[in-house]
Amino acid sequence: MRGKCGRSRRRPDAVLGDRGYVHDKYRWLVWGFGVKPLIARRGTEHGSGLGTQRWFVERALAHLHWFRRLRIRWEICDNIHEAFLTLGCALISWRRLSQQVRALTQ
- Same domain as 106, residue 69: yes
Model pLDDT for residues 20-46, shown as the tens digit of each residue: 777 888 888 888 888 888 877 777 676
Q: How confident is the model at residue 69 (pLDDT cuts 50, 70, 90)?
A: confident
Number of domains in the chain: 2
- Same domain as 43, residue 14: yes
Torsion angle of the four alpha carbons 8, 36, 28, 51, in this order, in degrees rounded to the nearest 10: -130
Please provide residue 14's backbone torsions phi and psi, each rounded to the nearest 5 degrees.
Answer: -145, 155
Specify the pLDDT at position 98: 93
Specify the pLDDT at position 26: 81
| Average pLDDT for the chain | 80
- Same domain as 105, residue 71: yes
- Same domain as 73, residue 44: no
DSSP the chain: --S-SSSPP-S-SEEEE-GGG-SHHHHHHHHHTT-EEEEPPTTSPS-SSHHHHHHHHHHHHHHHTTSHHHHTT--SSHHHHHHHHHHHHHHHHHHHHHHHHHHHH-
Share of the chain above pLDDT 70, in %: 81
- The dihedral through the CA atoms of 32, 37, 42, 44 has a sign that is positive
Does residue 4 lie in a domain region?
A: no
Q: Which domain holds residue 28?
A: 10-54
Does residue 21 lie in a domain region?
A: yes
Among residues 19, 68, 56, the alpha carbon closest in space to that of 39 is found at: 19
Does residue 106 lie in a domain region?
A: yes
- Same domain as 48, residue 83: no
Does residue 60 lie in a domain region?
A: no
Torsion angle of the four alpha carbons 68, 70, 76, 77, in this order, in degrees rounded to the nearest 10: 130
Specify the pLDDT at position 29: 86
Model pLDDT for residues 44-55, shown as the tens digit of each residue: 676 656 666 666
Does residue 1 lie in a domain region?
A: no
